Each structure stands twice: as structure tokens, then as C-alpha cells.
């Protein structure tokens, strides 16, 4: 389900204006796993993701939350996206740091989309850095590494940058 309108309701309104309709939607389409893409939530919204029984959550572009807040605010596995418009202002090292920090802070997956604005020679090495870091994090987890182990791949500058910036 994609519902970017839900974030327009304050958390105190969700029991009345969001949850009944999400339940109706999910009950009408599946008896299995529930997943949602909801942009621009705040940390106070996150407990509702557990309440509705989500299996997976895509926060999309949500400037008011970060992987740590999601990890601490609910139990739903989530993917963290590096948005195309962030690439021009990042170095390849920052992209690597972003991937490792997201994984270390609880993201179940990381992903990005290739858009037309990324199809230039400056961005290609950054996308490669994303792919290489994601493969390395996956390899580490498959070998039994902890999130702290993966987090040690983040540079000192990256530790200061994410998620404050």
C-alpha cells in the first residue's frame, strides 16, 4: 500500500482517521503479509506500524525520521532509500558511509533508484560505491557480523554526518 496522505494526520488522529481505513484496505486485499510505503512520517507515528501488523515498511523520503528512530520506534523491518537528489552533494565515500550507517542503525535493506539526473560521469562511481557497500554489508551479515561490526565501516566523518545532516 502507498499512502503518503496518512502522514498529514497527527499521531493523535490515527486511531480514528487512518487505522480503520488501513485495516479495511489490508483486509480486503490480503490475508498474508502487509507492507506499506508511507512518506513523511514522524517518530510518534511509528508505533502504529506495529499496531496494523506491517511485515515491511518503506519510509520513502521522510526527513523527520531516520533508521535509528524507526528501529527504536517500531519492530517493523524497513528499507532505507538513498534518494537520487542526494547524490550530487555526496562523495563516493559518503555514499559508502550512508549504506553502512543505515545497515548498522537497523535498516533491513537499503535501496536507490536510478533517475535521469544521475546519468552522468560524476554519479556513476557513487552508484558503484552504493552497490559495493551494500554487497559488503550483506556479505558481513551472512558471515555472522553484528550491526556494530558493519558500523565500523563508517568513516569518522560519516559518523558525524548521518543522520544529523
pLDDT at 32: 85
Q: Among 60, 34, 63, 161, which Cα is nearest to 112's?
A: 60
Q: How far apart are CA 126 and CA 96, in angstroms?
A: 8
Q: Are residues 73 and 86 in the same domain?
A: no
Q: Are residues 50 and 29 in the same domain?
A: yes
pLDDT at 31: 78
Q: Are residues 69 and 97 in the same domain?
A: no
Burial class (CB in 10 A: 0-12, 13-18, 19+), 104: buried
2 DSSP β-pair partners: 37
pLDDT of 104 > 70? The answer is yes
pLDDT at 162: 86
| Three-state DSSP string of 129-149 | HHHHHHHHHHHHHHCCCCHHH
Domain-terminating residue out of 43, 61, 77: 77
Q: Are residues 154 and 104 in the same domain?
A: yes
Mean pLDDT over 93-99 rounds to 98
Residue 164 banded pLDDT, cuts 50, 70, 90: low
Q: What is the largest CA-CA distance in the chain?
A: 50
Domain-terminating residue out of 48, 77, 106: 77
Radius of gyration (C-alpha) of the chain in whole angstroms? 17
Mean pLDDT over 16-31 rounds to 92
| pLDDT, averaged across the chain | 95
pTM beyond 0.85, yes or no = yes
Domain-terminating residue out of 77, 93, 108: 77
**Number of structural domains, the chain?**
2
Q: Are residues 114 and 163 in the same domain?
A: yes
Q: How far apart are CA 106 and CA 78, in angstroms?
A: 8
pLDDT at 61: 85
Mean pLDDT over 131-157 rounds to 97
Q: Are residues 14 and 42 in the same domain?
A: yes
pLDDT at 29: 87
The domain in which residue 165 lies consists of 81-165
pLDDT of 66 > 90? The answer is yes
Q: Are residues 110 and 146 in the same domain?
A: yes
Mean pLDDT over 5-32 rounds to 94
Q: Are residues 73 and 101 in the same domain?
A: no
Amino acid at each position: 500500500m502507498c499512502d503518503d496522505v496518512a502522514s498529514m494526520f497527527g499521531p493523535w488522529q490515527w486511531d480514528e482517521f487512518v487505522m480503520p481505513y488501513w485495516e479495511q484496505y489490508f483486509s480486503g486485499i490480503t490475508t498474508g503479509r502487509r507492507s506499506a510505503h508511507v512518506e513523511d512520517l514522524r517518530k510518534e507515528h511509528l508505533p502504529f506500524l506495529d499496531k496494523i501488523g506491517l511485515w515491511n515498511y518503506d519510509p520513502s523520503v521522510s526527513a523527520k525520521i531516520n533508521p535509528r528512530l524507526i528501529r527504536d520506534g517500531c519492530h517493523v523491518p524497513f528499507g532505507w532509500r538513498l534518494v537520487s537528489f542526494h547524490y550530487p552533494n555526496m562523495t563516493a565515500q559518503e555514499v559508502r558511509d550512508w549504506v553502512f550507517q543505515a545497515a548498522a542503525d537497523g535498516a533491513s535493506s537499503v535501496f536507490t533508484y536510478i533517475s535521469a539526473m544521475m546519468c552522468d560521469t560524476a554519479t556513476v562511481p557513487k552508484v558503484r560505491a552504493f552497490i559495493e557497500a551494500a554487497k559488503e554489508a550483506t556479505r558481513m551479515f551472512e558471515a555472522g557480523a553484528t550491526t556494530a561490526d558493519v558500523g565500523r565501516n563508517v568513516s569518522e566523518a560519516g559518523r558525524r554526518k548521518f543522520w544529523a545532516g
